[in-house]
Amino acid sequence: MISIKSKKEIETIKEGGKILAEVMQKLEKMVKPGVTTKELDKVAEGLVLRSGAKCSFKGYKGYPACLCTSINEGVVHALPSESQLKDGDIISLDLGILYKKFHTDMALTLAVGKVSPESVRLIRVTKKALKRGIKKTRPGNTLGDIGNTIQRAIESQGFKVIQGLCGHGIGRELHEDPQILNFGKRHKGEEIKEGMVFCLEPMVAIGDYNIKKSADGYGLETADGSLSAHFEHTIAVTKTGCQILTSLE
């Protein structure tokens, strides 16, 4: 069942979202060759706790860290480690926080040093697909409209939509109904209504869309080892469209 949030609840989620966006902005400035993903995780957790929030992912289904750090072929949920970032890598940072009993979730993919033109294009296309999905989010449209828009934005550029992963509702629970696929058919699926709060998160591969478990036991990566990118925002549906809740505005 999809829950409808009150205006007061959405304002509380927005407060948490702003904290999350501030933390991610600080982490983004840290990403450079030589930094370890464990360092990023330590900083992330410190910033989250000092803000009065908690890490949503830590302890969720046994996940032992605050931040997910997926590098190159990593799609989502990769565990931070002592390995250093290298010039030419791309890294997806995925972070969720719990603030005043409500969760927010956000992800972005960053270039480490100088990366290939293909990597730059992958990041740009994935970010643009999220923006297009957000623009399609308004009352009267359907979840299929969102998925179809994201899918076309990705596939028109020769990339693939990762299968088996999707966006989701969010609120008092980290993952709520509905599931929001990054592909679909127009006018199909659940109707979008004012007060819905959910996460849109296109996950894109340069090569094949199939995924497999990573060696760390938590992450998922492309089965063919091709590069992957991931962007995510928590958004609330308004009367006339939607509002991004994980932003600094």
Mean pLDDT, consecutive 10-residue stretches, the chain (249 aa), reads 97 98 98 98 98 98 98 98 97 98 98 98 98 98 98 98 96 98 97 98 97 97 98 97 93
DSSP 60: G
- Per-residue confidence (pLDDT) for residue 248, from 0 to 100: 87
175 half-sphere exposure, CB direction, 13 A CA radius:
9
Domains and CATH numbers, the chain: 7-244 (3.90.230.10)
- Per-residue confidence (pLDDT) for residue 214, from 0 to 100: 97
- Phi, psi (rounded to 5 degrees) for 40: -60, -40
- Per-residue confidence (pLDDT) for residue 139, from 0 to 100: 98
- CB-based contacts of 89, cutoff 8 Å, min separation 6: 71, 72, 112, 113, 115
* Stretch (H or E) spanning 228: strand 228-230
How many CB atoms are located within 10 Å of the residue 154 CB?
Answer: 27
* Stretch (H or E) spanning 169: strand 167-169
